């Protein structure tokens, strides 16, 4: 708990300084709130519209979580296939890397054309933005398994599937969590972006609507909610890592002492 506090206060301090500077600038220069609202205004207007914001947050959160679940499943499937088959590694991996160069900006509207304004195209955008870091770190994690450990198991006559379960999966997990932390922060942004391309509900379409109405303060409020969601999900993955890999923290602690 103390270490958590120690990690949290420096960024909070920096944030406080930035927000104070922003507030001071807006007040002193008398900036038009439709151009740049003060943080105080964003906060008060956001609070006044909290019911509305909450209604928009739920669908975004749903798209994020479902899209991420799909991404998670696909990443495991692909990484396992890549690990078991050298042919798949040769044939599939370069395509996966190449797929990262396709701009989501171009794909998102197409997904709307193909799948409509519902949940599915948003899920797919989230999946597309988060899949690669997950699959790549997991595949790299499998590949990074100690060769001598694999040899030891082979000398005992252990089959591939059992060796995979006993050694390759656990030794890949720390790598996987690195990918998980990176991609979960993309996930919310992915969902918001997908809504921008066309949606009935959600933070993305809400931002667009408020921008058109010159309610810049509410755009900022929605951005703040998006950031809070990302941070919460990031925190959740850190918590999950602690639960799944209790030995890792003990090891780090040992290394420090």
Partner 1 sequence: MSLEVRGVTKAFGSLAVLRDLNLSVEPGEFAAVIGPSGSGKSTLFNLISGLDRPTSGEILVQGAPASVASGKVAYMPQKDLLFPWRTVLDNTALGLEAQGVRKKEARRRAGELFEAFGLDGFQSSYPFELSGGMRQRAALLRTVVLERPVLLLDEPFGALDSLTRTEMQLWLADMWQRYRWTVVLVTHDIREAVLLADTVHVLSPRPATVVERIEVPRSGPRGLDALSEPEFAATERRLLDSLSGRVSRVNEVTAG
What is the C-alpha to C-alpha distance for residues 150 and 27, in angstroms, rounded to an integer?
65
The nearest distance, CB 179 to partner 1, in angstroms, is: 18
CA-angle at 225, arms to 223 and 226, nearest 5°: 65
83, 168 in Cβ contact below 8 A? yes
The 10 Å Cβ neighbour count of residue 53 is 19
The nearest distance, CB 149 to partner 1, in angstroms, is: 5
Pick 55 or 146: Cβ nearer partner 1: 146
Burial of 113 (0-12, 13-18, 19+ CB in 10 A): exposed
Alpha carbon 70 to its chain centroid, in Å, reads 13
Contacts of 106 (CB under 8 A, 6+ apart): none
The nearest distance, CB 255 to partner 1, in angstroms, is: 9
Terminal CA-CA length for the chain: 18
The nearest distance, CB 148 to partner 1, in angstroms, is: 6
The nearest distance, CB 187 to partner 1, in angstroms, is: 27
Pick 11 or 255: Cβ nearer partner 1: 255
Q: Measuring CA to CA, how many Å separate 66 from each of 70, 75, 122, 187, 195?
A: 6, 14, 9, 10, 15
What is the C-alpha to C-alpha distance for residues 120 and 191, in angstroms, rounded to an integer?
11
Pick 175 or 215: Cβ nearer partner 1: 175
Pick 50 or 160: Cβ nearer partner 1: 160
Pick 116 or 159: Cβ nearer partner 1: 159
The nearest distance, CB 154 to partner 1, in angstroms, is: 6
Pick 122 or 168: Cβ nearer partner 1: 168
Binding positions for partner 1, rule: CB under 8 A? 146, 148-149, 151-158, 162-163, 166-167, 170-171, 173, 245, 247-248, 250-251, 254
């Amino acid at each position: 708990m103390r270490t958590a506090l120690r990690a949290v206060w420096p960024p909070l301090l920096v944030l406080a300084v930035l927000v104070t500077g922003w507030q001071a600038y807006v007040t002193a220069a008398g900036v038009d709130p439709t151009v740049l609202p003060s943080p105080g205004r964003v906060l008060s207007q956001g609070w006044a519209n909290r019911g509305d914001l909450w209604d928009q947050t739920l669908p975004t959160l749903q798209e994020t979580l479902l899209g991420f679940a799909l991404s998670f499943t696909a990443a495991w499937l692909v990484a396992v296939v890549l690990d078991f088959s050298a042919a798949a590694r040769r044939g599939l991996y370069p395509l996966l890397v190449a797929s990262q160069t396709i701009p989501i900006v171009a794909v998102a509207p197409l997904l709307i054309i193909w799948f409509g304004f519902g949940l599915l195209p948003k899920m797919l955008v989230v999946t597309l933005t988060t899949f690669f870091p997950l699959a790549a770190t997991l595949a790299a994690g499998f590949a990074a398994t100690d060769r001598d450990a694999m040899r030891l198991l082979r000398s005992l006559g252990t089959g591939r599937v059992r060796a995979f379960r006993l050694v390759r999966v656990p030794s890949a997990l720390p790598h996987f969590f690195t990918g998980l932390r990176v991609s979960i922060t993309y996930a919310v942004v992915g969902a918001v972006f997908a809504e921008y391309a066309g949606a009935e509900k959600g933070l993305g379409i809400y931002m667009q609507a408020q921008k058109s109405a010159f309610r810049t303060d509410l755009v900022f409020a929605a951005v703040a909610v998006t950031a809070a969601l990302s941070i919460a999900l990031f925190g959740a993955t850190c918590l999950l890592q602690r639960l799944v890999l209790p030995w890792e923290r003990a090891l780090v602690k040992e290394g420090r002492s």
